[in-house]
Amino acid sequence: MAIFVHPEYQTIGIGSRLIRVLLGYGQANGLGHVWLAVERTNLVAMNLYKSVGFETTVRDRAEHEMELEL
């Protein structure tokens, strides 16, 4: 799944609300672990993921992998 928030709307909380709702839905439906990959240059997304608890597990030239236990 890929999720994008248009740059014009990235500072008003849409991404934060969206990720929190999706994680809550997953947890409520038995999901225990979430993994994602994000381009290392996408600092907005990386900061969002960190703010909800994701931790970087792999760093490479193109992207970072992040994980969260629910």
Instruction: Check which CATH number belongs to the domain holding 17 and give it.
Output: 3.40.630.30
Closest CA to 3 of 62, 53, 45, 31: 45
Domains in the chain: how many in total? Answer: 1
Q: Which domain holds residue 46?
A: 7-69
54 located within any domain = yes
Contact call for residues 34 and 70 (beta carbons, < 8 A): yes
Entry pTM: 0.85
pLDDT at 65 over 90: yes
What is the Cα–Cα distance from 25 to 42, expressed in whole angstroms? 25
What is the Cα–Cα distance from 26 to 9, expressed in whole angstroms? 25
Neighbours of 48 (CB within 10 A): 18
**pLDDT-derived band at 4, boundaries 50, 70, 90:** confident
1 located within any domain = no
18 located within any domain = yes
Single-letter amino acid code for the residue at 34: V
What is the Cα–Cα distance from 46 to 59, expressed in whole angstroms? 12
- Per-residue pLDDT tens digits for 17-52: 999 999 999 999 999 999 999 999 999 899 999 999
